[in-house]
Homo-oligomer: A and B are copies of this chain.
Amino acid sequence: MDRIRLGHGSGGKLMHQLIAEHLGPAFGIREFGDSAILDMNPKRLAFTTDSYVVSPLFFPGGNIGDLAVYGTVNDLSVAGASPLYLSTGFIIEEGFPVSDLKSIVSSMSNAAATAGVRIVTGDTKVVNKGKGDGIFINTSGIGIVFNGLDISSSRIRKGDKVLISGEIGNHGVAIIAERNGISFDPPVVSDTRPLNSLVRAMIEITKEIHFMRDPTRGGLATTLKEAAKESATCIRIKEGSLPIPQQVKGACDLLGFDPLYVANEGILLAIVASAAAEPLISVMRKHPYGTNAQIIGEVQDSPGGTVLLETAIGGTRMVDMLPGEQLPRIC
């Protein structure tokens, strides 16, 4: 068997074979009931879902498989939860190479191990050739919310500091470069990675983290605008403090993109009490995924619902959400 057939999505023998040979062993699932039964006794659960339709499926720094695991791990992490269990739902196009499926599943398995989460249940569907695009993956996840933590845009206050965990723009530029056959030297590599250990390190020193999110689709600008809108505050960012790699700057100039709108997959935005900002930055910089952490701005009262960017030459400009599509199918 080297290509996926419609029968692999049928619920019958071919599907059982696919699960038994490829998916079950990769995820360490031995029983194939339709639900996973989980022993846990939490007070507050976080629950999230994301479908991944990234194109191309393989790109510098990752593939749709680890992206699907880390993306959902990160959504739970920025909700202030410790990610525990993931589900995975595959929609595979008839004719998809099984070797590619194996690589993707193996990446998912490694990514789950790296992040310390377990993939506990799954589903496989197959659609006719020409009715999909290789493979789409949904992952949903459950985590336990850290005690005493309350992450919500409603907690954002005047005076809060805005922190970013590292360089922006790498994921989006890596994808667009791969898609268009552009190469950089050194190459731009996706930042796909799990943020749960970074978040845990931060939470261990303070509960004064008011808001966290990972700026994926729509980029940093869209996430900042969401935060400003939801909290009815003004978020003021210093352009000069934004960690944008030279390669990303160059690529964006070349392609006509604004790095503020380019997707990231391993970057954390945090809005925190002013007194907690410096201690957090110093903890973040000690973590491998936070070495370039920066304070990039602060929260003001007005004009509410806006994001202002102080440019390098001393002006300010209003930052809005991504209006429509910049880079389709980035995740």
Contacts and interface: CB of A to CB of B under 8 A. Distances in A.
Contacts of A87: 47-49, 140
Contacts of A12: 217-218, 222, 261, 321-326
A283 interface: no
Interface size class of A (residues with CB under 8 A): 35 or more
Interface string A101-136: 000000000000000000011110111101111001
Nearest to A134: B131
Given A37-B47, A41-B41, A53-B127, 19 more contacts: A9-B217, A12-B222, A12-B325, A13-B321, A13-B322, A14-B323, A14-B324, A16-B321, A31-B230, A34-B50, A45-B142, A47-B121, A47-B142, A49-B87, A49-B123, A130-B130, A131-B133, A132-B133, A142-B142
Interface string A15-50: 110000000000000011111111111111111111
Contacts of A76: 35
Interface string A314-331: 000000111111101100
Contact of A45 (B37, B48, B53): B37
Contacts of A130: 130
Interface stretch (A88-96, A195-203, A293-301): A88-96
A145 interface: yes
Given A51-B91, A79-B34, A10 B324 contact: yes
A329 B126 CA distance: 7
A13 B45 contact: no
A10 B36 CA distance: 32
A323 to B, nearest CB: 5
Nearest to A214: B34
A138 interface: yes
A36 B42 contact: no
A78 interface: yes
A9 B330 CA distance: 10
A216 interface: yes
A37 B79 contact: yes
Contacts of A136: 91, 125, 127, 136
A167 interface: no
A173 interface: no
A-B CB proximity, top 7 nearest:
A11-B217, A12-B322, A7-B324, A11-B218, A140-B140, A49-B87, A35-B79
